[in-house]
């Protein structure tokens, strides 16, 4: 079709149509970009969180290899998990005289428990007017929890930890030794600490296995 002479009504209509067409193509391009951006944003927020990670260790429990994702408790090397569970029991039931050190142990413990395990520990700490609470009783007495054995039980992801608590009172003039046994159920999850293995304790039960031995 021949072009209309400039200044004629037909030419003006053609020019307006051409500009309108450009505006429509620009609008469609912006709409497409918005759709892609929205889809990417939704995909990012609904995709599952990356799994926690575990180090490959040698037969002595020392890290030697690449970092691998944890998909289950079974993916954590047994020796490494048992050692860390022993550390958890020490932190949870030790009462340190140094306030800064006790705050560290208490925070480490809280970072490892969730659900019913949190409530069980809170109940223990606060019973007998807070006698067992490590952050309020360390001015009266201090205690050291030493693990003597850690076993994997037949129940799935369940461990038994035997430990001995030595309690010092009366300005270290007297101390009492008692033997305890804890049963822990372990789950995996995403830790806030990027250097931490992503395991947590969601159930804990503990009891004294014999009478205290004064010495």
In the chain, how many domains are there? 1
Looking at the domain assignment, is residue 55 inside a domain? no
Instruction: Write the CB contacts of 191 (distance below 8 Å, at least 6 apart in sequence).
Output: 52, 111, 197, 198, 200
How much is the pLDDT for 67?
47
Rg of the Cα atoms in the chain: 32
CATH code where residue 77 lies: 3.10.450.230
50 pLDDT band, cuts 50/70/90, is low
Looking at the domain assignment, is residue 13 inside a domain? no
How much is the pLDDT for 66?
45
Across 4-13, average pLDDT: 56
How much is the pLDDT for 215?
41
> Which tens digit of pLDDT belongs to each residue from 116-128?
999 999 999 998 8
Looking at the domain assignment, is residue 36 inside a domain? no
> Which tens digit of pLDDT belongs to each residue from 188-212?
876 666 556 678 899 999 999 985 4
130 pLDDT band, cuts 50/70/90, is confident
Looking at the domain assignment, is residue 149 inside a domain? yes
In this predicted structure, the answer to whether residue 143 has a pLDDT above a threshold of 50 is: yes
Higher pLDDT, 13 or 145: 145
Higher pLDDT, 168 or 23: 168
- Tokens found for residue 161: 């930890």
Give the domain extent around 189: 71-214
Looking at the domain assignment, is residue 3 inside a domain? no
Looking at the domain assignment, is residue 145 inside a domain? yes
Q: Where are the beta strands (DSSP E) in the chain?
A: 53-57, 63-69, 142-152, 158-169, 174-188, 199-208, 213-214
Backbone φ and ψ for 99, nearest 5 degrees, come out as -60, -45
Share of the chain above pLDDT 90, in %: 35
In this predicted structure, the answer to whether residue 160 has a pLDDT above a threshold of 90 is: yes
How much is the pLDDT for 213?
46
Looking at the domain assignment, is residue 24 inside a domain? no
């Amino acid at each position: 079709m021949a072009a209309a002479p400039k200044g004629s009504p037909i030419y003006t209509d053609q020019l307006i149509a051409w500009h309108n067409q450009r505006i429509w193509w620009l609008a469609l391009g912006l709409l497409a970009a918005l759709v892609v951006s929205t889809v990417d944003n939704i995909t990012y927020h609904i995709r599952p969180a990356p799994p926690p990670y575990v180090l490959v260790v040698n037969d002595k429990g020392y890290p030697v290899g690449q970092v691998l994702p944890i998909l289950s408790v079974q993916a954590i090397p047994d020796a490494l998990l048992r050692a860390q569970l022993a550390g958890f029991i020490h932190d949870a039931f030790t009462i340190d005289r140094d306030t800064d050190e006790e705050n560290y142990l208490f925070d480490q413990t809280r970072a490892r428990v969730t659900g019913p395990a949190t409530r069980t520990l809170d109940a223990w700490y606060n019973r007998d007017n807070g006698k067992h609470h490590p952050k309020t009783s360390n001015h009266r007495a201090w205690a050291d929890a030493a693990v003597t054995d850690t076993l994997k039980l037949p129940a799935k992801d369940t461990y038994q930890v035997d430990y001995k608590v030595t309690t010092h009172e009366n300005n270290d003039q007297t101390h009492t030794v008692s033997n305890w046994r804890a049963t822990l159920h372990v789950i995996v999850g995403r830790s806030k600490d990027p250097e931490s293995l992503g395991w947590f304790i969601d159930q804990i039960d503990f009891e004294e296995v014999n009478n205290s031995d004064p010495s």
